[in-house]
Amino acid sequence: MTATYRQPGVVLTDRRFTVPLDHNDPTGETIELYAREVVAGEKAQQNLPWLVYLQGGPGFGANRFVGRPAWLGRALKEFRVLLLDQRGTGHSTPANRQTLPLRGGPAEQADYLTHFRADSIVRDCEAIRPRLTGGAPWTVLGQSFGGFCAVNYLSTAPEGLAAAVITGGLPSLDAHADDVYRAAHPRIERKVAAHYARYPQDVERARRIADHLLHHEVTLPNGYRLTVEAFQSLGILLGGGEGSHRLHFLLEEAFVRTPNGPALSDAFQEEVQSLLSYAGHPLYALVHEATYGQDARPTNWSAERVRTEFPQFDAAKALAGDGPLLFTGESIHPWMFETDPALRPLRETAELLAARTDWTPLYDSARLAANEVPVAAAVYHDDMYVDTAHSLGTARSIRGLRTWITDEFEHDGVRAGGPRVLDRLLALARDEA
């Protein structure tokens, strides 16, 4: 059953699809996918080509746009757009602390979650594409993890693609999670240094907050235990175009005077819990490192292990000296399944996923080398989330791929850049630029 309604300038249609949980067992258990179709109001009756948007993540539902913001306005000039809630997210069959116990215990939950990587998402797309396009190929726009999905699409079902455009999402074809995080820490350190150069007053502010957390137990209003490691993880903000400014405004209102002395302000705690909680996107924490699993090597809490190779990120050591506290970036750690009430019931499930040794390859180098699909990718210079060297290595491995390398944007350039990023990538894919 579909529902069609309007927002300013656009016509929206809710669409639902039933797909196999395991595409290798098409007669087995099924799950539901939700997607929102968007078309310009003045083009609603036209026969337009389709563009499907693959959201970053993993574990996030598609953007909930109002009207035609960011890249969407450019896409609607010529496409009918499908905003897909990838399996387990948004209005698709959910996977979280409330629903996963329906699977059984942690072992059954972990087995279930092996079907929530890029390969399954691409097969979902191929299952629903004929129902919408009549069999015609469509264009995909892959942001961040959505770009990982797009590269899997090129590897496994290129016949379904008219073109692919990728923003901040060219993955290494063969790097283990350890390689990804070893490459990430120097980038994160540079982003933190740039933040402190812009806002030198934040050096002392961050040290003061970290010192407070080392000596006080702080539980946020939602039950999240705010540790110094959790505070450091707010550095994930530094990967976005406005992230440094957002972090600065957060730090400047951290403390208030109380009858019992300085305390972390309610306003600070409220904002921090909204940034740190995984209640709205638990899949991100559960399968993030699994997105890098491609062989018999377990991920084994890669980010946590690799962090020990970079002692400058140790908060206690930083506070024992006079250097700045370093924030951390996009990484998942076992302590998150202790501090976050949305993740605590899933700790054993996460441990089992981290120990798995049966991950299958996500990318086909030979098929990518013979690629015939028009592809263009924005590679953001010194992207905090995706390593530039890894991305450029993959770009060289995909036949015909054209890159736009820029330092004008951070990882969220497709949003922050309005229509310009998508416009340029479409022109590159079409040999018009």
**Mind spelling out the 3-state secondary structure of 71-99?**
CHHHHCCCCEEEEEECCECCCCCECCCCC
Per-residue pLDDT averaged across 168-173, rounded? 97
Looking at residue 335, its pLDDT comes to 98
pLDDT band at 324 (very low <50, low <70, confident <90, very high): very high
DSSP category for residue 259: T
How high is the mean pLDDT of the chain?
Answer: 97
Distance CA 330, CA 236 (A): 5
Per-residue pLDDT averaged across 234-260, rounded? 97
Distance CA 41, CA 321 (A): 60
Residue percentage of the chain with pLDDT more than 70: 100
Looking at residue 433, its pLDDT comes to 84
Distance CA 208, CA 191 (A): 20
Fill in the amino acid letter for 104: G
Encode pLDDT of 260-317 as tens digits: 999 999 999 999 999 999 999 999 999 999 999 999 999 999 999 999 999 999 999 9
For the chain, residues classed under CATH 3.40.50.1820 are: 3-174+363-429
Distance CA 393, CA 362 (A): 16
Encode pLDDT of 61-91 as tens digits: 999 999 999 999 999 999 999 999 999 999 9
- Neighbouring C-alpha atoms within 13 Å toward the C-beta of 97: 16
224 is written with which tokens?
């999240």
Encode pLDDT of 183-231 as tens digits: 999 999 999 999 999 999 999 999 999 999 999 999 999 999 999 999 9
Residue percentage of the chain with pLDDT more than 90: 99
Looking at residue 410, its pLDDT comes to 95
Looking at residue 1, its pLDDT comes to 61
**CATH class as words, domain 3-174+363-429:** alpha beta
Using a 10 angstrom Cβ sphere, with 0-12 exposed, 13-18 middle and 19 or more buried, the burial of residue 116 is buried
pTM recorded for the entire structure: 0.97
Per-residue pLDDT averaged across 397-412, rounded? 97
Looking at residue 319, its pLDDT comes to 95
Encode pLDDT of 39-60 as tens digits: 999 999 999 999 999 999 999 9
pLDDT at position 2 over 90: no
- Residues designated catalytic: 144, 358, 411
Contacts of 110 (CB under 8 A, 6+ apart): 349, 352, 353, 356
Q: Tell me how many degrees the CA angle 49-53-59 measures, rounded to the nearest 5.
A: 155
